[in-house]
Amino acid sequence: MKPVTILGAGLSGLTAAITLAQEDYQVQVYEERSDSGMRFHGDFQGLENWSSPQDVLQEIKTHNIKQNFSITPFHTMYLTDGTTTFPATSSRPIFYLVKRGPFSDCIDQGLKRQALDLNVDIHYKSHKSIHEADIIATGPSTKKVTAIGKGIIFETDHDDIAMALVHKEASYKGYSYLLVSQGHGTMLTICMYPCENINNYWKKTCELYEHLTQLTITNPKNTGGIGTFHLNAHLQKQGRRYTGEAAGLQDFLWGFGMRYALTSGYLAARSIIEKKSYKKLIRHHLSNTRKASIVNRYYVDKVPDYGRFLIAQGQKLKEGELVKLIQKYYNLTLFRRFVYPYVKVSLLLSKKYS
């Protein structure tokens, strides 16, 4: 078997490499940065656990991923529109908190260690032409920015907390979040593109969180980044498989992408091992959830005050039912299936997510 060449040593590229190496494939990974996770600085992110009936930790086990990185389940999420705040809970973890970056406890480094243990060759600070690659896992494209995030990581004496803020002055058609665990925190605002001045939204985010939590912040460091999602996911070209954000695979509603990255990397590898169509595997595993999220995004863009709508929905919840509620929105019901073609055409014509 000729070696499989992968561009990108992020979550999807390393997942593909691990899966292939476990089937005795020789794998060459090329990464332009100096290490895995260099886009991040120890940021907290959420590995969402609501878009599928299967718990995400059970899912990644089937993707050959071991838990050799820091991971913390959260069962409570504070929802706020800046005025009303309440804790929404779930008997099943709402999400699992992971760290991103080039540090030993980060998920990026955990996957790197697993790949190296399987004798995957990872070439950092190396460039390879896409025409020589089998799998493209190079992350978001600066040419097709769909969302932009601005924030900080910091140290604090605040209790562990996860808080989602939806306020029209704190984010543009997006949301802001605060994550604190064991004395470290991440605060970020995410705005959908085009966003005229993210600095104004970030300033309002800081003001609101300071008012809501009396948060003490020490040693802040800037963080942020871009996100890429495509209505027509760019999955395959001339035999090359595109994974994660390189393919535009991302949740359209809230922009959670790690689960898509891990799954698409695994499926790209399986398509090589089993000699199956990568596009068909993606359709089978991700298409319905993704279509539902596109319909959800369309309606969020149309709701004048999404924050108040979110609070109203959340206040109807019984204790422990948050994940059950969100799962309903990710279910491709007959109604969502019916309106999806119209929603997609409307969004394509808007040219925001094409």
Residue 253, pLDDT score: 87
Last residue of a domain, which of 184, 208, 227? 227
CB 213 within 8 A of CB 158: yes
CB 185 within 8 A of CB 154: yes
Q: Are residues 109 and 21 in the same domain?
A: yes
Q: Are residues 154 and 283 in the same domain?
A: no
Q: Are residues 195 and 280 in the same domain?
A: no
Whether 75 maps to a domain, the answer reads no
Whether 113 maps to a domain, the answer reads yes
Query: What is d(CA 14, CA 297) in angstroms, rounded to the nearest whole number?
Result: 29
Q: Are residues 22 and 166 in the same domain?
A: no
Residue 194, pLDDT score: 82
Q: How many domains does the chain have?
A: 2
Residue 320, pLDDT score: 86
Minimal CA–CA distance to 265: which of 243, 289, 233? 243
Residue 318, pLDDT score: 82
Residue 354, pLDDT score: 61
Q: Find the domain containing 277 and state its range.
A: 4-36+102-139+229-287
Residue 195, pLDDT score: 83
What are the mean pLDDT values of the chain's consecutive 10-residue runs (354 residues total)?
94 98 97 96 96 94 94 95 92 96 97 98 95 95 87 97 94 94 97 88 96 95 91 90 94 91 97 96 94 91 81 82 89 94 89 68
Q: Are residues 181 and 203 in the same domain?
A: yes
Query: What is d(CA 107, CA 68) in angstroms, rounded to the nearest whole number?
Result: 8
Whether 97 maps to a domain, the answer reads no
Residue holding tokens 């896992």?
137
Cα distances (angstroms) measured from residue 78 to each of 53, 156, 168, 309, 316: 22, 18, 18, 15, 14
Minimal CA–CA distance to 168: which of 310, 304, 353? 304
Q: Are residues 222 and 151 in the same domain?
A: yes
Whether 345 maps to a domain, the answer reads no
Last residue of a domain, which of 249, 265, 287? 287
Query: What is d(CA 148, CA 226) in angstroms, rounded to the nearest whole number?
Result: 4
Task: Note the pTM of the prediction, 2 decimals.
Answer: 0.95
Q: Are residues 184 and 157 in the same domain?
A: yes
CATH number at residue 123: 3.50.50.60
Q: Are residues 132 and 235 in the same domain?
A: yes
Q: Are residues 273 and 216 in the same domain?
A: no
| Close Cβ partners of 197 (under 8 Å, ≥ 6 residues apart) | none
Whether 160 maps to a domain, the answer reads yes
Last residue of a domain, which of 257, 287, 317? 287
User: Helix, strand, or coil here: 220?
Assistant: strand
Residue 2, pLDDT score: 85
Q: Are residues 241 and 130 in the same domain?
A: yes
